[in-house]
Amino acid sequence: MPERTTRPPDFGPEELEAWASILAGTSPDVDVAWSALTEDLARRALASWPDLEVDLGAFFRHVASCLPADARELAVAQLCIEDLYLAYACAQNDERALAGFEREVWGELKAALSKLRVPAGDHDDVRQELWEKLFVGTSSPKILDYAGRGRLRSWFRVTATRALLDRRRGQAGTTTEEPGEDLASAEADPELEYLKRVYDHEFKLSFEQAILALSPEDRNTLRSYYSQQMSIDEIATAFGIHRATAARRVNRARDALLSDTRRRMSEKLRLNSKELKSVLGLVESRLHASVRRLLG
């Protein structure tokens, strides 16, 4: 009996080796593990959306562009490749992909519209505006910002919520209404939950590395201020310095920690400026607890 193989008949070994080398970022002589991983990705992508016509070589080049510079094999193994494949096909204006995308995210769009209390009469206009932002008008459609970390539905809900909030703010310029507490909670809830879920590991690792990179003086300053909850006056007395100097030290150490954490996360993740700003907001929101955990 011939040996069974899971390789689809239209995948040749040369193709798999070429795709694997794209993902690994190395010469074509990649090891067996990379070839097997690449084959699994291709098989899952095609099985999830068999009706789409996608150039797999171009798709894997896009996948490679979504990977961090380090830990590529781990990042590849964690990709939501089925969702990434659909998003890439949408960027190619594949009508079947666009229809599939709408089916996948329609529930998320309805939830965002409901949460922000968008009038029913505006729903069609909102959808059209959002679809234009995602798929139309640029050489690099916004849908390509989705990098396969976390489910496409979650990414879409954050994107849709941001677009609806921007739309609300634009309308607020012509009215006396205040956005109110409901708007603030709607903005914070889906985004922070998404960031916590998707970027938590990268945040912890980057934050710990940034803490270790601080000078002993800066670490002692942050330990005193955050872990031991010393006031500026108490820090000044403990270090034998002027109160203004103590305040500057706290601010300098804090800024150095946040800046280095942001730099490290930026190097590991492919985020646009708005997403990076949101990630930094998450870093700042957890600064106190994280410093106490690491330096307490």
Task: Please give the pLDDT value at position 158.
Answer: 77
Per-residue pLDDT of the chain (296 residues; tens, 9 = 90+): 333 334 444 677 788 888 888 888 765 556 677 888 888 899 999 999 999 989 999 999 999 888 876 667 777 877 889 999 999 999 998 999 999 999 999 988 888 888 778 888 888 888 888 898 898 866 678 899 888 877 888 888 878 887 887 777 766 554 333 333 333 333 444 555 555 566 667 777 888 888 888 888 888 888 888 877 888 888 887 778 888 888 889 889 888 888 888 788 777 766 666 666 666 666 666 666 777 777 75
How many domains, in total, are found in the chain? 3
Does any domain span residue 183? no
Dist CA 163 CA 130 (whole Å): 7
109 and 65: one domain? no
Domain boundary among 23, 53, 79: 79
What confidence score (pLDDT) does residue 279 get? 65
25 alpha carbon, distance to own chain's centre: 21
Q: What is the pLDDT of residue 86?
A: 95
CB 226 within 8 A of CB 265: no
Would you state the pLDDT for residue 187? 40
Residue 81 pLDDT: 93
pLDDT of 272 reads 60
Q: Is residue 283 part of a domain?
A: yes
Report pTM: 0.58
Residues 214 and 260 in one domain: yes
Residue 210 shares a structural domain with residue 266: yes
Domain that holds residue 208: 199-295
Asked whether residue 219 is assigned to any structural domain, the reply reads yes
CATH number at residue 233: 1.10.10
Same domain? 104 vs 73: no
User: Is 87 within the bounds of a domain?
Assistant: no
In a domain, 108, yes or no: yes
Clarify whether residues 215 and 238 are in a common domain. Answer: yes
Does one domain contain both 159 and 105? yes
- Write down the pLDDT at residue 71: 66
Query: Quick one: pLDDT at residue 70?
Result: 65
Same domain, 101 and 70: no
* 85 within some domain: no
Of the residues 55, 79, 103, the one at which a domain ends: 79
Q: Say what the pLDDT of residue 95 is.
A: 92
Residue 216 included in any domain: yes
Are 46 and 127 contained in the same domain?
Answer: no
Look at residues 20, 52, 79 and tell me which one is the last residue of a structural domain. Answer: 79
- Is 104 part of a structural domain of the chain? yes
